[in-house]
Amino acid sequence: MDFFYLFLVAGVIIIFIIVQYDKQNKKKVNDILRANKNVPPLFMLRSAELKVNAIRSALNTQDLFDSEKTEIQKVLSHQLDQLIASYTNRQIALSAYYARLGALLICVNEFKDTRIAVEV
């Protein structure tokens, strides 16, 4: 009968240690999650940078013979600059910035495709 009480006390102590360990880990995880709440998603941020680079490279090609297309390039470039400035000044969130960059990239690609079709 003495072994029963020995194992009972040992079991209670082990369960108590496990519960304490679990509480400490939950507290640490919650602290980490709270600290990372305002950190932007890195993959979305990198993808936004790639979109900006793609838009700029598409807009940097000059069409000297068509002033209308040059004006469209200037408008698109101005929109890009405004979008970057508003994100830099924290006027829009990363998700909105990412979505607007996507829409602008589509517009630039359509503009680039029409320019290539006219040249051919």
Q: What is the pLDDT of residue 70?
A: 81
Which structural domain, as residue segments, surrounds residue 35? 1-39
Q: Are residues 28 and 69 in the same domain?
A: no
Question: Are 35 and 51 in the same domain?
Answer: no
Q: Are residues 64 and 112 in the same domain?
A: yes
Distance CA 79, CA 101 (A): 10
Average pLDDT, rounded, for the chain: 87
Tokens 């390039």, residue located:
73
Distance CA 61, CA 111 (A): 12
Same domain, 59 and 35: no
Domain shared by 64 and 78, yes or no: yes
Q: Model's pTM, two decimal places?
A: 0.65
Q: Quick one: 13 and 50 in the same domain?
A: no
Same domain assignment for residues 34 and 51: no
What does each C-alpha distance from 21 to 12, 34, 68 come to in angstroms?
14, 20, 69
76-102 per-position pLDDT tens digit: 999 999 999 999 999 999 899 999 999
List, in order, residues 6 or more apart from 56 with CB less than 8 Å away: 80
70 and 14 both lie in a single domain: no
User: Could you give the CA distance from residue 61 to residue 10 in angstroms, rounded to a whole number?
Assistant: 77
Helix or strand holding residue 62 (H, E): none
Domains held by the chain: number:
2
Contact 80, 56 (CB under 8 A): yes
| Segment 25-56, tens digit of pLDDT | 999 999 988 888 877 788 999 999 999 999 99
Q: Are 106 and 79 in contact (CB under 8 A)?
A: no
